[in-house]
A and B are shown apart, each in its own frame.
Chain A
């Protein structure tokens, strides 16, 4: 057999081949009995959506199985334009201000490919959803990191994700004439931080001052707790023209496996995103778009009402959050109470004695801890170092991230494991 003798892979893949999820998903599947690791619900999607899916497929509409409009199935882009138009306070054209993607993941990819050239800098706030860094690199850009820094919580209170903040002077120093964009993720994965209006105005002012774009990942926009407000940065002064807002049906409707996402923004930005899309994926699956459109139609009609899924889901999630917080506090893990998302980061310092440090190890401590916990306790969580760039992976190395979008039974089982573990530690 004549093998390929020359190097085959393109240089754009340099440094983007590692991905912890491949490893952690495998480990969780092998060892864990209780999986609070990867971010997906283990409860069903809402009934109205499941019914819509079944209805759509039982009809005779076999064109549901053929190509639809490449930039987004018309019923879906229309309802997205209606809903986000109201939320942003402007008239949106479904054909030019909205584009549907294969999950928010592909929306992010299109943004970076459309706007980031070699030599461009992109500001990424740490901790960050891990794909931002390799996507910027694959586009030839240079990621510039700025950390959220924890302030001490108020006396007697648990730390909140609100206590993790950007230093305004530090942020300003990250902007240069090479800055193409800043990636904002609010509510933030993994911390659960919901950026306040004031924090967003700080970012917005810098974007306007430096004529930078804002890629705003708002997939957890409906999961906001304690009456907090999710502020859309695209609605702030000067920001509509320079912001691409990204959303996800997977997170909105608890159907992560459907992979339906979208971008919303001005045509002069979306036109380039459309070019990337038409040269990479082109069409998204029809049936799932049709059903998501129906889901949104239902929510648009029920907006603000008690039975709206956008009201129900955060209510349920808040209870689960509080339950997990209680579990963790009871055993000595220190949770950072999230203002949003279905993730919670906890400080596991009290449990470090179970997993001795290995000096000069390549692997960050929290990663070894999380793997040990999976193998020995059957509980899966994700090390926080996953969400930091290489050089910063050891900055906050005693934290792990739990996903609490789980059924009652799962959270109870997690609690049992934690209680037993605590008992083992305290009993001589």
Chain B
């Protein structure tokens, strides 16, 4: 402290004053702590403070635990993506502010890629907003278009942020679950479906939007054209928006096709489609995403953006743009990363499924995404030592972390209050992991079976 005071005085800060303040503050500390404090949180964030990740991402810091929990690739991003960022780091002007709604080179690249995918003209300046991850796009969309008095339909299980974001906007979440049509014997994510009659009943004059997530986290379902048409028909009938979270759009396995609901008749005008660099290029730590839609909707997202964080980081956007141009040019080539990543992940998916089956679990094989769920109640593990008030899957995961040194995510974190009973038998595994991580998981799972026998 003395050394610091000397250098402080070099800059003209009066050290006597600093010491005197310190003394008076140390006397005052106890007084101010007991002072009545009226500054609570605002109504908009009431009850939104807890979060499944706060507990389960701490696990990631412990190297002795094999982490198949948080959706975090431990595989390397493609080398050219890393190289582009390294190249960009050397360019001085790319360290300063860029265009608020999205770096010009990036929005141009996105418009080209998505024009090709959607088969329609997309204006890079008016139809696209670059955000801080897919998360930031969800937030901008919901803040721009949803408010008190609105209802928003959320399909369960859901990526957990949808519910608090809808609530923070003052609106009411209306849940509808995916149901296992094969009544307990689910081999595939395709077995999990919406009941069209049940879905129709959820729409009313207050329904502002439905949030769609395809490919779906956590189940891995890839909605078919027919399933999307059912949703689209209801959106058009009730003049509702569709917020389509398609961050896993490229991660679709053999025999399945990702279809964009915005390309269905009548849907472009009422859909915001969300994408993510983190999921496209295995760079979750770049936190770049985008919203694409008609100008008359995107302009409101842009207003939110200019009043929340104004602009996204320049060097990351430039590097991402360069990576997109590389892959755009080879979209006819099977080596394009948009296709090669899903091929790489398909074998990991199959391996993960096999490992879980060997333990006696029946995993739900996902058609897309990089998550896999399994019903763990069939293992009949004794969880009587765990905190009784918690849902089954929370207890199971905590037990599994402690005694098996393997982590996953409890599925009831992804449900509304009514369906926790339905989903609490399931836990979610992430398989976008290096072979060595899957090898370590294999050791644990094989030993598990041995202990049972």
Interface residues of A (CB under 8 A from B): 1-6, 8-13, 16-17, 19, 21-22, 25, 38, 40-45, 50, 53-54, 57-58, 62-70, 86, 89-90, 102-103, 105-106, 109, 113-117, 131, 134-135, 138-139, 180, 211, 213, 227-229, 235, 237-238, 240-242, 254-259, 268-269, 271-272, 274-276, 278-288, 303-305, 310-311
CA of A19 to CA of B314, assembled, Å: 20
Instruction: Name the residue on A nearest B4 (C-beta).
Output: A86
Binding stretch for chain A, among B140-148, B374-382, B399-407: B140-148
Beyond the given pairs A57-B82, A281-B133, 7 more chain A to chain B contacts, judged by CB atoms under 8 angstroms and listed by A's residue number, are A9-B303, A66-B74, A70-B57, A102-B313, A116-B42, A135-B307, A304-B6
**A114–B45 CB distance below 8 A:** yes
B219-262 vs A, CB cutoff 8 Å, 1 = contact: the mask equals: 00000000000000000100101000000000000000000000
B41 touches A272 (CB 8 A): yes
Closest to A44 in B: B92
Please state if B45 and A109 are interface contacts (CB–CB under 8 Å).
no
Q: How far is the CA of A2 from the CA of B147 in the complex (A)?
A: 23
- CB-CB under 8 A for A281 and B136, given A1-B269, A114-B41, A287-B85: yes
A213:B296 contact, CB within 8 angstroms: no
Contact of A304 among B8, B99, B303, B311 (CB under 8 A): B8
* Shortest 5 CB-CB contacts between residues of A and residues of B: A304-B7, A257-B314, A286-B285, A10-B147, A44-B92
Task: Determine if A131 and B39 form an interchain contact, defined as CB atoms under 8 angstroms apart.
Answer: no
Check A13/B98 contact, CB under 8 A, given A89-B25, A279-B164: no
Residue numbers in A under 8 Å from B97 (CB-CB): 38, 40, 256-257
Query: Is B72 in the interface zone, CB < 8 Å from A?
Result: yes
**Please, which residues of chain A bring their CB within 8 A of the CB of B25?**
89-90, 237, 240
Asked whether any CB of chain A lies closer than 8 Å to the CB of B182, the reply is no
- Chain B residues, Cβ within 8 Å of A63: 74, 285
A57 in contact with B86 given A65-B77, A259-B313 (CB within 8 Å): yes
Contact residues in A for B57 (Cβ distance below 8 Å): 69-70
Binary contact readout B74-95 vs A (1 if CB under 8 angstroms, 0 otherwise): 1011000110011001101111
- B309 to A257, Cβ gap below 8 A? no
Report yes or no: A115 in contact with B39, Cβ–Cβ below 8 A: yes
A114-B45, A275-B41 known; A106+B309 contact, CB < 8 A: yes
Closest B residue to A131 by beta carbon equals: B307
Cβ of B42 and Cβ of A139 under 8 Å apart?
yes
CA separation between A288 and B144, bound complex, in Å?
A: 28
Whether the Cβ atoms of B90 and A50 lie closer than 8 Å is yes
Asked whether, in the complex, the Cβ of A45 is within 8 Å of the Cβ of B92, the reply is: yes
Report whether B72 and A89 are in contact in the complex, using a CB–CB cutoff of 8 Å: no
Which residues in chain B, 131-155, are within 8 Å of chain A measured between CB atoms?
132-133, 135-136, 139, 143-147
Cα of A281 to Cα of B282 in the assembled complex, Å: 18
Q: Which residues on B sit within 8 Å (CB–CB) of A213?
A: 39
